[in-house]
Amino acid sequence: MTAIAEDDRPSSLWRDAWKRLRRNRLAVIGLFIIAILVIVAAFGPWMSPYDFLSQNLDARNQPPSGLHWLGTDDLGRDVLSRLIYGARTAFLVAVGVTVAAVLIGVVLGAIAGFYGGAFDRFVMWFTDMTMSVPQLLLVVVINASLKQPISLWMEARYMETLNPIWRNSAIIDFVLVFGSMALITWPPYARLVRAQVLSVRGRPYVTAARALGLTNRIILMRYVLPNAMGPLIVAVSAGLGTAMVLESAFSFLGVGVTPPTPSWGNMISDGLRVWTNYPHLLLAPAAVLAVVTVAFNFLGDGLNDALNPKGQK
Question: What was the pLDDT predicted at 313?
Answer: 45
Residue 166 lies in a domain: yes
Residues in a beta bridge with 78: 72
Of the listed ranges 6-15, 229-238, 239-248, the least confidently predicted one is 6-15
Residue 53 lies in a domain: no
Rg (CA), the chain: 23
Average pLDDT over residues 233-260: 82
The domain containing residue 173 runs over which residues?
Answer: 14-44+78-311
At residue 3, does pLDDT exceed 50? Answer: no
Burial class from Cβ neighbours inside 10 Å (0-12, 13-18, 19+) for residue 2 reads exposed
> What is the per-residue pLDDT for 7?
52
Whether residue 59 lies inside any domain: the answer is no
Say how many domains are in the chain. Answer: 1
CATH number, domain with residue 257: 1.10.3720.10
Helix H segments across the chain?
13-22, 25-47, 79-115, 117-132, 135-161, 169-200, 204-211, 216-219, 229-252, 264-273, 280-307
| Alpha helices (H) along 23-134 | 25-47, 79-115, 117-132
Coil/strand/helix, residue 78: strand
In a domain, 71, yes or no: no
The pTM score is 0.82
Which tens digit of pLDDT belongs to each residue from 193-236? 999 898 888 888 888 888 888 888 888 888 888 887 878 888 88
- Is 286 a domain residue? yes
The pLDDT tens digits of the residues spanning 78-87 come to: 999 999 998 9
What is the mean predicted confidence (pLDDT) over 68-78? 89
- 269-283 pLDDT, tens per residue? 888 888 888 898 989
Answer whether residue 4 shows pLDDT above 80: no
Residue 223 is assigned to a structural domain of this protein:
yes
Answer whether residue 199 is part of any domain.
Answer: yes
Do the domain assignments include residue 60?
Answer: no
